[in-house]
Structure 1
Amino acid sequence: MGIYFYWGEDSFAIAQAVKALKQQTLDPMWESFNFDKFSPEQSDAVVQALNQAMTPPFGTGNRLVWLSETTLAQRCPEEMLSELDRTLTALPDTTTLLLTSSSKPDGRLKSTKLLQTHATIQEFSLIPPWKTELIRTQVQRVAQEFDLKLTSKAIDYITEAVGNDTRQLYSELEKLKVFAADSKKPLDESAIAPLITASTQSSLQLLAAIRQGKTAQALELVADLLRQNEPALRIVSTLVGQFRLRLWIKLMLESGERDDREIAKAAELGNPKQLYFLKQELQSASLQQLQQVLPILLELEFSLKRGSDETITLQTKVIELCQIFQFRK
């Protein structure tokens, strides 16, 4: 049936693609016999998966073998490479072999080149949080999947509220689909606002408090976000995206650019109409202040990824960020 390699950080999107592949491949009546998933915790997972892939299916339908979180495209011993080569070149037509990984394939490896020759490789990476136009397009696409009609302002609201979290996007739109029932009228912003879990909106409030140098308010918002079980790295991701956007706009303005279309394009601003308000906001912030922000946020991200205490680390860095904006320059 085919060989597929899915990779990227968007685990929910990969899970959706795997679900679709199962529906295409398996007979539901025989799924328990013909579907096998091998995880890296299992001993000899690769060997077992490749052996199972050569086994004919039972009953009707085809066989699907899934080797999850594989490292074959990052490191592959010579004996494993030989086994992989034998399997990929002789895979029965009745078998679909799926490999998934959160890491990018290393194009220098022989195993990766082998997969590039025989497999359909698809990337499932999260959209960078500052690429709001791409996120907005994703909201529109998923809304169409749900046959859900939304006004332009409703789409903008969801884009800001959900950000690049694919899992939450599907969850929120599924909720709105139930709410809309068989309504033919597009849902507007006022209708969906009470229903959407706008954790990104709270992060935007945190950004506003930092930009105004309001330390106490910013720390309270940090506490609220953590109480809502908002991942610390997602809070940082939103702040990085929003401050990066403002830095680009400020750089363009300082360089003498006056064409709003050029500024919006350079800053990858999803909704150019927002530029007027952002320009007004940036009058109270200097280029030097904005340039100091991103290194602190990168330090924060690095500390969190190394396992530092989320609450203490966030509080410390938020205080530093607020101090930058407490003095007008």
Structure 2
Amino acid sequence: MPIYLYWGEDEFAIAQAASALQTQYLDPQWASFNYDKVIPDQADGVIQGLNLAMTPVFGVGCRLVWLVDTTLTQQCSEPLLAELERTLPVLPETSVVLLTSRNKPDGRLKSTKLLQKWANIREFSLIPPWKTDLLLQQVRQVAQETGVKLTTAGAELLAQAVGNNTRQLFCELEKLRLYSGEQRGQTTPPLDAAVIASLVIVNTQSSLQLAAAIRQRQTAQALELVIDLINRNEPALRIVATLVGQFRIWLWVKLMVESGVRDEAEIARAAEVSNPKRIYFLQQEVKPLSLRRLRRTLGLLLDLETRLKQGAEEVSTLQTKIIELCQ
């Protein structure tokens, strides 16, 4: 009676994991009889899902019941909790229950504690755009899973192109896999940056480039980047979140360096940088900056975030504050 709880904002990765469970547990010939997807707007959806999970499997294989966007780990009534406590321990061995949610489980709830006892819990959160080393690691991992060989420069370009969009990453790697098989045969060398640039839509304008333009006081370029990001439907609050994350890293690196810390691993821990090898490059980036300017920049960014959350017009507010940040 495997029970799985998948949560996080990466809906595509959750869907991929759910598909893997279907392949693992369902017999293809009996899947239409043994697979049920309970959507959140169904009345008494959780009770319905539990009843389906208690139903004996038809034919061979297992039964899989997927409770989509469940709120069990955010709110749970006493009657529903009692039903969970009664049902989960006695689920048939041939039943598999998958619960998914965008929100992090509330560890204070009895329902969450119950699921922590019975379920395999896995997080599917999006990698923050400023954690470029983790994005590169994700590209390499998925490329290996899909059988696509990439050079170092090719992997870096693909990570820059797709960011933390896992759906686009899988789509682009599938395109590269087909190209590699058609063009090169079985003995395919790793795909380099030139090939990837010709096949993948590379968005050279990014929020990280915007952060770099602000750091270098390049007002005109920063304003162009803002327009490019907005035209690509990048949410203003997500742009600001990336800027805050990047300037926070720069502030910590500058603070540690001026405090006399030389150990790159210690600086990486303080700045929450997973790869200590990045610290050398970050130190070069913050060398011409003062602590006062970095602190003031973060204050201005938080003020920008507040204004946007209060409903200020996005484009003009971003442009005005970007000019102020560059100056």
TM-score range, shorter chain: 0.7 to 0.9
Distance 1:12 1:109, change over 3 A: same
Residues 196-229 of structure 1: CA distance to partner in whole angstroms, max 9, x if unpaired? Answer: 3343743233223222333343222211122122
Whichever residue aligns with residue 50 of structure 1, its letter is L
Q: Among residues 311, 318, 322, which one is paired with 1:318 in the alignment?
A: 322
Report SS of the residue matched to 2:206.
helix
Give the structure 2 partner of residue 116 of structure 1: 116
- Between 214-223 and 73-82, report the one with greater CA deviation: 214-223
Give the structure 2 partner of residue 202 of structure 1: 206
- Between 200-209 and 3-12, report the one with greater CA deviation: 200-209
Distance 1:66 1:260, change over 3 A: closer
CA RMSD of aligned residues (A): 2.6
| In structure 2, distance between residues paired with 1:241 and 1:2 | 38
1:277-316 to structure 2, matched below 5 A, reads 278-301=282-305, 304=308, 309-316=313-320
**Does residue 18 of structure 2 align to residue 18 of structure 1?**
yes
Alignment size in residue pairs: 322
Residues 15-66 of structure 1: CA distance to partner in whole angstroms, max 9, x if unpaired? Answer: 1110101111222333333221122222211121111111123333321111
Give the structure 1 partner of residue 94 of structure 2: 94
Segments of 5+ residues of structure 2 without an aligned counterpart are: none
Give the structure 1 partner of residue 70 of structure 2: 70
Post-superposition shift, 1:80? 0.5
Residues 83-114 of structure 1: CA distance to partner in whole angstroms, max 9, x if unpaired? Answer: 11122111112211111111111222211111
Give the structure 2 partner of residue 133 of structure 1: 133
Give the structure 2 partner of residue 215 of structure 1: 219
Segments of 5+ residues of structure 1 without an aligned counterpart are: none
Residues 57-82 of structure 1: CA distance to partner in whole angstroms, max 9, x if unpaired? Answer: 33333211111111111211110011
Distance 1:208 1:9, change over 3 A: same
Question: Which aligned runs of 4 or more in structure 1 are off by greater than 6 angstroms?
Answer: none
Q: Is the 8 A contact 1:131 1:270 kept in 2?
A: no
Distance 1:73 1:280, change over 3 A: closer
Give the structure 1 partner of residue 280 of structure 2: 275
Report SS of the residue matched to 1:199.
coil
Q: Is the 8 A contact 2:264 2:276 kept in 1?
A: no
**Does residue 250 of structure 2 align to residue 246 of structure 1?**
yes
| In structure 2, distance between residues paired with 1:22 and 1:309 | 45
